[in-house]
Amino acid sequence: MAVTKKIKNQTSFSMTEKEFGKVMDALYASHHKKYEVTYNDKFEMNLNPELIDKQGLTDKECKHIVKLHISRCKLFDKMKQENNVRVLRRYVKDLTQIEFDLQKAWKFKKDARFHSWWFLSPKCTCPKLDNWDSLGTGYHVISEECILHGKQHKK
């Protein structure tokens, strides 16, 4: 079955449902590619298109969120290369600020209970599943041996 569309007093065009599906798939892919976070030619993540719509974000706001995620990726690279605990702990503070900036950019209230990148950061040995499960509660499971968050490494 062909789909026919007439565009404001111009000639009509016709395509099959399969062709129409391909066009729609291409539009969907280009929309999502637009909000794709890539760093060092590696795919990192996509921004959530449903949340973009729900929050009423503009193109400019979405691009800002992508830049914040790229900043996080750069910080993670620095953390991977660093061995000095004091420097790493400074990076943890920088990461916390990026998470607050992301919340603001997404039009959410500033709330550290919903931060997740802290336990997903390089060199963090805190339990991932436990912290995912308690996300939003304010309860964190910290490994004492973690050089980023553990008490035995604090001075």
| CA nearest to 127, candidates 97, 149, 99 | 149
pLDDT digit string, tens, across residues 116-139 = 999 999 999 999 999 999 999 999
- Is 149 or 30 the better-scoring residue by pLDDT? 149
pLDDT digit string, tens, across residues 38-96 = 999 999 999 999 999 999 999 999 999 999 999 999 999 999 999 999 999 999 999 99
CA distance 135 to 123: 20
| CA nearest to 31, candidates 70, 57, 68, 5 | 57
CA distance 118 to 135: 11
Residue 18 — pLDDT band, cuts 50, 70, 90?
A: confident
